[in-house]
Amino acid sequence: MRFLRAAALVLVVVLLTVTAALAQDVTLSVAVSLKDAVEALGRQFTTTRPGVTLRYNFGASGDLQKQIEAGAPIDLFLSAATRQMDELEKQKLIVVASRKVFARNVLVVVKPTDSKVDIEKASDLLAPRVTRVVIGQPKTVPAGQYAEESLRAMGLWDRLQPKLVFSENVRQALDYVARGEVDAGFVYTTDAATRAQGVKEAFRPPEDTYRPVIYPGAVVATSKQPALAQAFLDLLGSVPGRAVLAKYGFQPPAAGAH
């Protein structure tokens, strides 16, 4: 009996040790426009990896960049623009060999579903009937950066200044429109699709007025789980991963995009 009890104790210790070894947390800092798609992919990822827990940190890419620069314990960074990734690469804060573009997006201007304001093109935003237009804060929000580029290219940026409202991220901009707090807002087509009951498309800025909206990802240099972070990044670029991204409206990256 003593032998059996001792064997059982050893077995319990071994099981606890194995369980502890298998329990692995992976923290993903993710541009908020990717939230729904990444969470869906995360469920797929953990289903085949017992003991792995994904922890999400959603926000504006610029804010996420600053957190990584400040030493936040992040394993994988998924950005909505190349600028933030470029700056982290210059500081050697990402694993350069892991960096890859996995999706594209498109800007759209939306208005509240029940809006009676006629907005069909960018110049309509100058009309007196349009009083407030929301965009992401260009310093930290890629969607805001793209919106500023587009408005400048069309000669509207300076003229629209009195009407502009700045949001902390693209989803907040979407919420402002859905609640009717503004007349129009610049978001991504994928964001508009998530709030089909609250907003409707007004128009799409010409794609030649702003840089291509591409999403790069990279393993963070200080990651404690680099293999798992790389595995999730690989999933984004796989056939199943791209199918999920497409379901949420994301386009595949152009050949050779980095």
Question: How many residues belong to the chain?
Answer: 258
Tens-place pLDDT, residues 223-243: 999 999 999 999 999 999 999
Q: Which amino acid does the sequence have at 114?
A: D
Same domain, 98 and 121: no
Lowest mean pLDDT among 70-79, 195-204, 238-247: 195-204
Round to whole Å and give the CA distance between 204 and 132: 18
Res 22 pLDDT > 60: no
Question: What's the pTM value of the predicted model, to 2 decimals?
Answer: 0.79
| DSSP code string of 185-225 | EEEEHHHHHHTTTTEEEEE---GGGS--EEEEEEEBTT-S-
Domains in the chain, number: 2
The pLDDT assigned to 9 comes to: 35
Residue 34 belongs to some domain of the structure: yes
115 and 98 in a single domain? The answer is no
Q: Confirm if 157 and 148 have CB atoms less than 8 A apart.
A: yes
DSSP-based three-state secondary structure for 128: coil
User: For helices 61-69 and 82-90, what crossing angle results, to 10°?
Assistant: 10
Do 69 and 145 belong together in one domain?
Answer: no
| pLDDT of res. 252 | 92
| Of 54, 63, 245, 46, nearest in space to 171 by CA | 63
- Same domain for 50 and 113? no
Same domain (yes/no): 87, 117: no
Q: Which domain holds residue 98?
A: 2-104+214-247
Q: Which residues of 42-56 are buried (b: 16+ CB within 10 A; e: fewer)?
A: beebeeebeebebee
In a domain, 253, yes or no: no
Considering the domain architecture, whether residues 195 and 222 belong to the same structural domain is answered as no
- Tell me, yes or no, whether 78 and 196 share the same domain: no
CATH number at residue 46: 3.40.190.10
Q: How far apart are CA 171 and CA 188, in angstroms?
A: 9
Strand bridging mode 52-59 / 76-78: unpaired
For residue 142 the two structure tokens come to 């890629």
Distance CA 115, CA 48 (A): 46
* Same domain membership, residue 132 and residue 46: no
